[in-house]
Structure 1
């Protein structure tokens, strides 16, 4: 069985909470700082591409490409958190990913959301 960190993402930073929701139950939004993003562009790995081409003939998951995409998403997420932290945020609300092709040679992965300062209720 594969290590879960190789094929998934998630919360990476204990000091900046990242959520896909508009608010955080049990917290209030004290200040909205604004939009922040983290971006990475990854070229296609020749070895992964060859393996993916062969695997696509038989069908099934393209594990090399899956792992590469997970790494790219995690890097974009790390950059998003750093951007929010640099602006004084302790939370990112409404986080989303956007992936697009970059010139036919790779993929652009962008993590974005709303940087905010939140505090516990009561």
Structure 2
């Protein structure tokens, strides 16, 4: 399924509605320990980076699944939103507009 951050995808379509994909991940103990050490010396916290990457991929897949449920051909104007929940959880939302191509 085509997922685009733009509105113009080179073909005419009808709008089916908004679609969302949401996931919430918790940080593991190893990442928390590494983060504490990195606070002392600086640098990337690879465990957190990987968690956020995985969260984005999961959110995109869930958004695509919702669009497929609406018989969509594509998703346009896709965006991400994220935020922390408490001290050790991260929520990621992928959202966009499901569309059906006009023949």
Match of 2:3 in 1: 18
Q: Does 1:38 align with 2:21?
A: yes
Which consecutive segments of 4 or more residues in structure 1 shift more than 6 A? none
CA RMSD of aligned residues (A): 1.4
- Which piece of structure 1 moves more, 91-100 or 50-59? 50-59
Match of 1:102 in 2: 85
Q: 1:90 aligns with which of 73, 79, 92?
A: 73
SS of 2:25's equivalent in the other structure is strand
| Structure 1 segments unaligned to the other structure (5+ residues) | 1-15
Give aligned pairs, total.
Answer: 103
Q: Does 1:75 align with 2:58?
A: yes
SS of 1:27's equivalent in the other structure is coil
Quote the Cα distance in structure 2 between the aligned partners of 1:66 and 1:103: 18
Q: Looking at both structures, which has the greater relative contact order when contacts are Cα pairs under 8 Å and sequence separation is at least 6?
A: 2
* Superposed displacement of residue 55, structure 1: 1.6
TM-score by length of 2: 0.92
Quote the Cα distance in structure 1 between the aligned partners of 2:45 and 2:81: 20
* Superposed displacement of residue 119, structure 1: 5.4
TM-score by length of 1: 0.79
Quote the Cα distance in structure 1 between the aligned partners of 2:18 and 2:57: 19
Quote the Cα distance in structure 2 between the aligned partners of 1:47 and 1:119: 50
